[in-house]
């Protein structure tokens, strides 16, 4: 069964009644044990990070992804639905990770667990265990941007850098774990929470509203969008919502500002 990229609680409930869906809860373990969607498997979102090297927030190596997906019991044709307790960044990064190895049957639960509960569906506190599988992966091109790729396209009008950090981070007024503040030359700023109804109600706003705001910044579907934040957590959501809007060419800079802002050879604008 194939579901849209962004689904409602009702769509998930209906799908669960007719086919086996792998629901992945990317919340904290404490929150997962307090209550989750029936059948959901817990996953530590830190597994979406490489966890080693100078830039530990980069995408895991293929063998790490293969091991993770095998532990989750994922199979090649299985429909996956993800949600988190952070308003969407981890769930969005999970979607990007799945896409980057060719797994297209995946969906983002709009509104996460609060929306599920508000829709009147039950939750459970039982810890569910996956039946391990074998899931070999091969990285696909077109999903990742590194320093070399960005540098090569800084003056390319067919590319645009979408920085979803706060305005203070973008301007350099606020610097987090970096030697330098500011932004990549030519980047535009769209703080990630603008795509949500509110921080208390973390559903995506209407697609046409987000699309119009991005277009006003020059972020349009005809361009290749390179999105990033500080560690490619928040920009997990911007990957998700641009794909939801129909953007075909979206790359994520997983090194993000933690890498760019700590180097001496990368150009920076205030």
* Second CATH level (architecture) for the domain 6-118: 3-Layer(aba) Sandwich (3.40)
pLDDT (tens digit, 9 = 90+) per residue, 118-150? Answer: 999 999 999 999 999 999 999 999 999 999 999
CATH label, 147-260, candidates 3.40.250.10, 3.40.50.1980, 2.40.50.140, 3.40.190.10? 3.40.250.10
**Where exactly are the structural domains of the chain?**
6-118, 147-260
Catalytic residue among 43, 150, 229, 240: 229
Distances (CA, A) of 241 to 39, 107, 165, 228, 238: 26, 12, 15, 13, 5
**Is 229 annotated as catalytic?**
yes
pLDDT (tens digit, 9 = 90+) per residue, 46-99? Answer: 999 999 999 999 999 999 999 999 999 999 999 999 999 999 999 999 999 999
In the predicted model, is pLDDT for residue 1 greater than 80? Answer: no
The dihedral over CA atoms of 107, 140, 243, 166, expressed in degrees to the nearest 10, equals: 100
- Give the HSE-up count for residue 191: Cα atoms under 13 Å, Cβ half-sphere: 10
Same fold, 6-118 and 147-260: yes
Q: How confident is the model at residue 2 (pLDDT cuts 50, 70, 90)?
A: confident
**DSSP-derived 3-state class of residue 156:** coil
- The pTM is what? 0.98
């Amino acid at each position: 069964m194939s579901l849209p990229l962004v689904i409602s609680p009702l769509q998930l409930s209906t799908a669960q009644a007719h086919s086996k869906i792998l629901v992945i809860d990317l919340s904290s373990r404490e929150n997962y044990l307090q209550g989750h969607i029936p059948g959901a498997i817990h996953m530590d979102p830190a597994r979406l990070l490489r966890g080693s090297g100078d830039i530990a927030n980069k995408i895991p190596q293929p063998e790490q992804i293969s091991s993770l997906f095998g532990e989750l019991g994922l199979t090649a044709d299985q429909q996956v639905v993800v949600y988190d307790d952070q308003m969407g960044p981890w769930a969005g990064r999970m979607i990007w990770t799945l896409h980057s190895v060719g797994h297209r049957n995946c969906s983002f639960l709009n509104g996460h667990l609060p929306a599920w509960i508000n829709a009147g569906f039950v939750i459970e506190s039982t810890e569910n265990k996956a039946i391990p599988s074998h899931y070999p992966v091969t990285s696909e091109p077109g999903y990742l941007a590194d320093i070399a790729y960005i540098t090569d396209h800084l003056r390319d009008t067919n590319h645009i850098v979408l920085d979803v950090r706060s305005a203070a981070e973008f301007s350099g007024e606020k610097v987090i774990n970096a030697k330098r503040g500011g932004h990549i030359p030519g980047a535009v700023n769209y703080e990630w929470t603008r795509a949500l109804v509110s921080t208390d109600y973390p559903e995506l706003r209407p697609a046409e509203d987000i699309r119009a705001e991005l277009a006003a910044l020059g972020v349009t579907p005809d361009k290749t969008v390179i999105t990033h934040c500080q560690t490619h957590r928040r920009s997990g959501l911007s990957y998700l919502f641009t794909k939801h809007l129909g953007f075909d060419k979206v790359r994520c800079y997983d090194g993000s500002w933690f890498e760019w802002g700590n180097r001496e050879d990368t150009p920076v604008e205030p």
